[in-house]
Amino acid sequence: MRMMLAGAMLIWAIPAVAQEREYCPARPGLGTPACTIAPGRVSVETGLANWTLERDSDTRTDTVLIGDTQLRIGVTDSIEAQIGWTPYGHVRVRDKARGDIDRAGRVGDAYLGIKANLMNPDGKGFSAAVQPFVTVPVGRGPVGAGDWGAGAIVPVSYDLNDTVSLQLSPEIDAAVDEDGDGRHLAFGTVVGLGVALSDAVNGTLEFQALRDNDPADHATQALAGLSVGWKVMDDLQLDAGGNAGLNAASPDLELYFGISRQF
C-alpha cells in the first residue's frame, strides 16, 4: 500500500516539476529558440510596436505593426502549440520623384505551428527542435500576404559556457509570391550568439541570410540584429531590438520592442 501511495505521489509530482521549468520566450531576435513551454503553461508574446524602413531609388516604405502576438501553449514536456496573429499594420509608401504618398492600414495574417523539442526542452546544454508551421491569409495586402504559406524551422542551441550560447535557426519555406497568388521556395538561416549579461538580462547578436526565389524578383537578404531581453519577474520579460540590412535587397532598418508573459 505504501509503495502504491509513493508511486501515485511520484506520478503527480512529475508535472509539477515540469511546471517549474525556466521561462523561455521566443522573443526577441531574428532566430528561434529550441526550448519549449512547460506542459500546462501558456506564453503570450507581443510586439507592442515594430517599425521597418525600406528605401530604393524610387520609393521609401515605412511599415508599422502594432500588437503582433504569438500564443505558445505547452502540450507535453517537449511539444508546444503556437498561434499567431497581426491585428494591425500600417504601410506608408512615398514616391521620391513626385512626392505622392500612399497609405494603407490592414489586418495581418494568422500563424499556426507546432514545436517539438528533440533534446533538452528547457534549452540547456545542447538543445534541438523542429517547428513546422502554416500561415493563413486572414489579412489583406500590403500587410497580409494574400495566400497561404508554409515552412519549417530547425532551431539548435549549444551552451558554450555558463554565460555564452551559440544559436542556429535554419529554415525552409513555401513563401507566398509577391503578387499574393501562389508560392515559391525561400530558405536561409540565422546564426546568433547569446550572452547572459546578468541573472535577469540577456543580449543576442545575430546574422541572417535568406534566399527568396520569388518569380518577380530573386533576391538574397542579409541582416544583422542586436536585441536585449530583461526578465522583470520569472514569468515576465520586456524586450527591445533592432536589425540592419547588409545589402541592397534587405530592409534598411527595423526597430521593435515587446513584452512576454507566461501564465
Q: Does 256 reside within a domain?
A: yes
Q: Does 33 reside within a domain?
A: yes
Q: From CA 73, how far away is CA 38, in angstroms rounded?
A: 8
Q: Does 130 reside within a domain?
A: yes
CB neighbour class for 110 (10 Å; exposed up to 12, middle 13-18, buried from 19): middle
Q: Does 185 reside within a domain?
A: yes
Reading the chain (263 residues) residue by residue, the pLDDT tens digits are 343 334 333 333 334 344 479 999 999 999 999 999 999 999 999 999 999 999 999 999 999 999 999 999 999 999 999 999 999 999 999 999 898 999 999 999 999 999 999 999 999 999 999 999 999 999 988 999 999 999 999 999 999 999 999 999 999 999 999 999 999 999 999 999 999 999 999 999 999 999 999 998 899 999 999 999 999 999 999 999 999 999 999 999 999 999 999 99
Q: Give the DSSP letter string of 121-164.
A: TT--SEEEEEEEEEEE--S-TTTS-SS-EEEEE--EEEESSSSE
Please report, for the domain that includes residue 60, its CATH number: 2.40.160.40
User: What range does the domain containing 115 cover?
Assistant: 22-262
Q: From CA 242, how far away is CA 250, in angstroms rounded?
A: 14
Q: Does 110 reside within a domain?
A: yes
Asked whether 123 and 149 are in contact (CB, 8 A), the reply is no
Find the distance separating the first CA and the last CA of the chain, reported in whole Å.
36
How many Cβ atoms from other residues are within 10 Å of residue 82's Cβ? 19
Q: Does 85 reside within a domain?
A: yes
Q: Does 8 reside within a domain?
A: no
Our measurement of the distance from residue 201's CA atom to the centroid of its chain's CA atoms, rounded to an integer in Å, reads 19
Three-state DSSP at 17 gives: helix
Residue 80 has, within 13 A of its CA and on its CB side, a CA count of 29
pLDDT of residue 140: 87
Q: Does 121 reside within a domain?
A: yes
Q: From CA 21, how far away is CA 11, in angstroms rounded?
A: 17
The number of domains in the chain is 1
pTM of the model: 0.88
